Structure 1
Amino acid sequence: SGGGVGGTAATGGGGGTAGTGGTAGTGGTAGTGGTAGGGGTAGTGGAAGADAGPGSVSYVAAVADCVNVDSPDPDACETATGTGLMSVDLTNDDFANAPTAVFLRFNLDGALAGKTVTSVSLSLTVGSNPGNESDSTGDVWRVASFTRAALFSAVPSKVGSSPLAGDLGAAAQGGTITFTLPSNLPQASTPVYLGVFAASTNGTDYQNAKGGSPPTLKIDYQ
């Protein structure tokens, strides 16, 4: 009867049944583990990559003040120009015809990390009072780093041999002036320091950080 058992081995010959071991092929169901491969769905995390496509970010100036370049004092300049305003003028009669200039600081966070900047623009809004307008917007320069406190004792120096953006002509009362700046200017987590210098004896008065439309730096990226 042990031979019969051997026949059982023959049933093993129904080793075709072992072919059912092909059912282990259903272990291919483990292939369904390939469904775990649907962990490739995590690849949809690549969709998050889609969220990291083109976009833009805007920063309001952390510092936005004017100073008499011969005797800097941001508070005195705002008092003379008007609350919420800052003056850009070659000959400011409030300061015995001394020039006044505007200095802006934008504190950038890490939003630009890993991004390619495609365009940068600076928006300044002219005051809404009669006399705030001008025939000149002034020129935008990159300037040395500064704090507001430092503006009471020194005028930040210009960086480079030419402005980042030249004069755009007339600045209408209440109008918004938009300067196009170089795309390589901003860097993630690095402050941007700008100065607006007069190109006319007919001064322009812009809204400062206290105004309803403070200076804004907009950065587009991809």
Structure 2
Amino acid sequence: MTELVLLRHGESLWNAEERYQGQQGTGLSPLGHQQAKQAALLLQDRPFDQIVASDLQRVAETLQPYLDTCDHPTVRIDKRWREIDVGAWGGRTFAEVYDEEPEVVDAFARGEDIARGGGETFAQLRERVWDAIRDIAISGADRVLVVTHGGPIRVATASTLRLSPGGEVTLDPPANCSLTTVRVDDLLAVTTLASYNVPTWTGDQ
């Protein structure tokens, strides 16, 4: 079995401003940098065979404090771990989008798998993330740190639990710098959720 420890990035500037990000977005807010440092302290004594990360700025800034604390494997950047693409919604506030497209926001909240802003559906996200997990599983690694986003963590969890399509919307969105741990065999025939959305941020400095 391969254990994947999935770390969501710290709070970004657009998180703080309640803007949709998708594959756009900013680096971390001051709070996000604090969250990343605390996550690094929690993870620094855990051995990882591999580190895999999304290529987006907020992930790179979240990972850096951990890389600064210890010896580590080379980081492999994998765009399949990017956040879901929300197309034209990227950069717009939640309130702005709701004012202009309330029926789409409401349909998504009801569980309809809509390509928000002309971007991706959760089904498309789930396919690419599961493909990325398969590649990690067949590598033979024992434990892998994956630094990514809330959407990929939700669909990875849904796939691990064998939830039906759309089942990811029943899961609480992962908090900034939370940890989710899944275990998979090399054929993805056996999958286990060890923990979900475990906070690393306590507010202590």
TM-score by length of 1: 0.22
Compare the two structures and name the one with the higher helix fraction: 2
The structure richer in strand per residue is 1
